[in-house]
Every structure is written in C-alpha cells, then in structure tokens.
Amino acid sequence: MAGNVFRLTVAEDCRGMRLDQYLAKAVPDFSRSFARKIIDLGGVHLDGRRVRRSSLAVPAGASVEVYLEAQDPVIFSLSDAHILFRDPYVLAVNKPAGIDCQPTPARYKGTLYEALLRLLASPYRKGQKPSLGMVQRLDRDTSGVMIFSTHPRAHKGLSQLFTARHVQKVYLALVSGTMEEPQGEFSSLLARQRRTNLMKSVARGGKHALTRYKVVETFGDADLVEVEIPTGRSHQIRVHFAEAGHPLLGDSRYGGPSAWRGKILLRQMLHAWQLQLEHPVTGEPLKLKAPLPEAMSELLESVRLPGDDC
C-alpha cells in the first residue's frame, strides 16, 4: 500500500458511517486501527479538505482521498537533542533526514512544522496557537540547521534577513567522482519540469541560482565539498552538481549512486552545516552549526572538517 493514493466516492449504503469504519470497508487491506493512524497523521481528505477525526460521519456522494506515504506512519517529535539555539525570539534546530518541513497531502502530524507547534505549545492555553515563522526549507532527506522565529517581534526581521540574502548558508555534500577544480561556482536559471517534478537549468523562464563550492577532501571516487548558496532555490545544490557530472551520493532522483564502498545509501549525502546571521531582534551575531548525522559521519570517520579544533 506504500506510496498510494486512493480516490473514493461514498456510496449511498455507506451514508453516516464513521470515517475509520468507511475506510476499512472501502480501501483494500485497511483495518480500522490502521485507518485511524492515517486519519491522525492527516492523510485523509474529505471533499478536498484534510480531516483528522475518525468518528466523523461520511455523507453519501462525498469524495474521499487517502494518501499513503512510503515509510511507516510514525510521529516525529523534537527533543532537546535537536535544539541548537533557543531564546524568546528564535529557535534553531538540527533537522533529521526523512522529515518533511511542511505538511504534505499524506501528513500533517509529525512534520517539522507540526512538531515545532507541539514543542512551543506548553505556555499557551487550549485553542491558542504558538507564534511561529518559517523562512527556509530543507528537502525531506536533507538534514541540518534551520532557524525559526517564535515571537512576533522576530518574524519580519528574520524574513528580511533571508530575503535580502544577509544569511550565510553553508552545506556539506558528498559528490560522486572527482571535481575538476578544487573550488568554483555554478550559476544558472532553474525551473521545475512538470513531467518529472524535478528541477533543471533552463535558458529562460527560471529563477537565478548561484552555488559556490570548495573541495574539503577527495577520495578518488568521491569528493567531500563545502557548499555556499547565496540563493536558495529548490534542489539547487543537487541539480548543479548533477548537471556538472557529479551527482550527490545517494541522490537517486538526480542520478546519484545508491551505494558507496559497499554501504547502501538511503538518502542524499547533503547536510545544512552552518548558518551565520544577525539576530533579528538583538542584532547579535549568530553562528549556528549542526553536527553531521550518523549516515554521513560513518562515511567520513577520519575526515577533519573545516573549523574543527582537533
């Protein structure tokens, strides 16, 4: 059932059924308990609107869409281990790979956005919503540092810092092959292709993307590169290296190898390593660093990263 979308129309003889009961009857291999999990996640839409109440009575003729993810329906929650910086105005976290930043048709609960709302909810009364501003995105399978505004005084300032490109964003990536030059840059217009939903450099009609890189370590069949992106386009690091003939290890969507030196790679080897910016309220400099995830650190056991003290 993984990764499927079921589109249903409620028959007359199912009028008034509980939503979980209806799904157990209408969707192959669904049990009521599994249906309740998918409803709770936010993967069920009634007449185009997400519904998260299993006891809801379904009306005859209603359209029901059920979105199933490829992975198990587990709920991600933030812990102290994920928090890199926190004060009354902003919150920085180390996002794990495999977590969507924003709600998708298949999931609301357990996305980074929803997990942040739960983390921030404790001082609020029931029915009140925490103040949360999201100004950046990371791909689902990219890990690393992200910063959010958590107070109305910080929302506009943080947004302006990103819009004006006053934020230094540094990534670490493992790319296949050996880069022809130890440092360089890629510049192109990027646009999404409707047929594949992938990004691609185009001659016109796209948005400008600039990617600068520096080789940190070379392994003969792969390079560890430090990457800075003054722009912030969807997939730009992945696209630029793939188009240069050096797709990221593990990035199968853009032609990267799914294994390296005998190890299976379950994600693209891309990590948002550092953010440097001024605090949007106090003006103090912030340098935020997210430690490498296990999936990458195991591949780089003997590599000394830039700025390491030992």
Q: Which residues are catalytic?
A: 139
Two tokens, residue 301: 């056991």
Task: Calculate the alpha carbon distances from 279 to 147, 149, 190, 213 in Å.
Answer: 11, 10, 30, 26
Burial class (CB in 10 A: 0-12, 13-18, 19+), 271: buried
Longest CA pairwise span in the chain (Å): 70
Q: Is residue 97 a contact partner of residue 272, using CB atoms and an 8 Å limit?
A: no
Alpha-carbon gap, residue 227 to 271, rounded angstroms = 10
What distance, in Å, lies between the first and last C-alpha atoms of the chain? 48
Report the DSSP beta bridge partners of residue 289: 274
